[in-house]
Amino acid sequence: MTLQPFEVRPVAGRIGAELVGLDLSSPLSDDVILAIRQTLVQHKVIFFRHQHHLDSDGQIAFARRFGPITAAHPTLPPLEQRPEVLDLNYGKNHGYANYWHTDVTFIDTPVLGAVLRAVEIPPVGGDTIWANTVTAYDDLPEPLKTLVNSLWAIHSNAYDYITEATHLSDYFKQYRETFESTVFETRHPVVRVHPESGEKSLVLGGFVRRFQGLSQAESEDLLRTLQSYVTRPENTVRWQWQLGDVAFWDNRATQHYAIADYGDQPRRVQRVTIVGDLPVNAEGESSVAIKGDSAAYNGLLAVAS
């Protein structure tokens, strides 16, 4: 029996753990990768401090050990000469990630997970919060569980969280136009079964536009209620970034929120994402794409992996 190749330090009671004793820029054995994957599934988001030797190539190589890599984003441009990397270079224009979401649920195969590397961090602020959508489902009272077990939600990027702003800067207008340059719309089960753990988790977040069979007003009220279970403090972990940190989250069982509390200070992180699968509910019914084709996003780099 192989001993655990790293130390696991839980960061919060229900979600999050720091893995100590690994250099992600060095070659890692298949056994170590398997142990990391098992820890990820258990803790939902895992953190690695002091990965100063890891560059974008190493980040890509590490992420690829867990599955084929997606393009950087379905609509947003990648880092120059790195089609796998989404460069999130924040500063005063940092208001487009401070909302609760699961990554790219507007396509039919949301990513399996994401590896995020801290490139430039403000001296104060800029933390990220993750929420456990498995324990959120577990916390629901039985009448709500009965409702959501058979409920479907329509997710889309046709408009995002900044749409409700009354005054948009030119930067945000341009960002929104790019974000919506190809419209995607997908029907997901509100409750999916995790393909590795078998746990049930809520598929919600900022890309939900409405629930099938409910009016817009009813959808908004229900979404607020369900999201309140996801974002309860008991279900969350808050990570205070340091330069060289890496976070790796299971996108199938989490939501996250980047806190925009650092003024004009620079904040730059880079993300690589792993191809996901179709969410499936307990009855074996899977998500369905209504508008938009995710094949290019998922297939552009899969061959190379």
Q: How many CB atoms lie within 10 A of CB 173?
A: 11
Active site (annotated) includes residue 271: yes
Separation between Cα atoms, residue 56 and residue 63, nearest integer Å: 11
Distance in angstroms (rounded) separating the CA atoms of residues 233 and 250: 19
- Please pick, among 43, 94, 210, 271, the residue that the annotation labels catalytic: 271
* Rounded Cα distance, 164 and 223, in Å: 16
> Which pair of structure tokens corresponds to residue 24?
């992600």
Rounded CA-CA distance 115/70 in Å is 12
Task: Tell me if residue 101 is catalytic.
Answer: yes
Contact of 51 with 59, CB cutoff 8 Å? no
Cα(142)–Cα(114) distance, integer angstroms: 32
Angle at 239 between CA 236 and CA 279, to 5 degrees: 50
d(CA 289, CA 94): 30
Q: Which two tokens stand for residue 18?
A: 């720091």
The residue among 192, 207, 245, 208 whose CA lies nearest residue 11 is 245
The single residue of 94, 101, 210, 267 carrying the catalytic annotation is: 101
Q: What is the distance in angstroms between the CA of the first residue and the CA of the last residue of the chain?
A: 30
Q: Which two tokens stand for residue 108?
A: 């039919």
Tell me which of 103, 139, 245, 250 is the catalytic residue.
Answer: 103
Name the catalytic one among 94, 192, 210, 256.
Answer: 256
Backbone dihedral angles phi then psi of residue 187, each to the nearest 5 degrees:
-100, 115
Active site residue 224: no
Q: Identify whether 43 is a catalytic site residue.
A: no
Q: Residues with Cβ < 8 Å from 208, sequence gap 6 or more?
A: 105, 153, 154, 155, 219, 223
Q: Which residues have a catalytic role annotated?
A: 101, 103, 256, 271
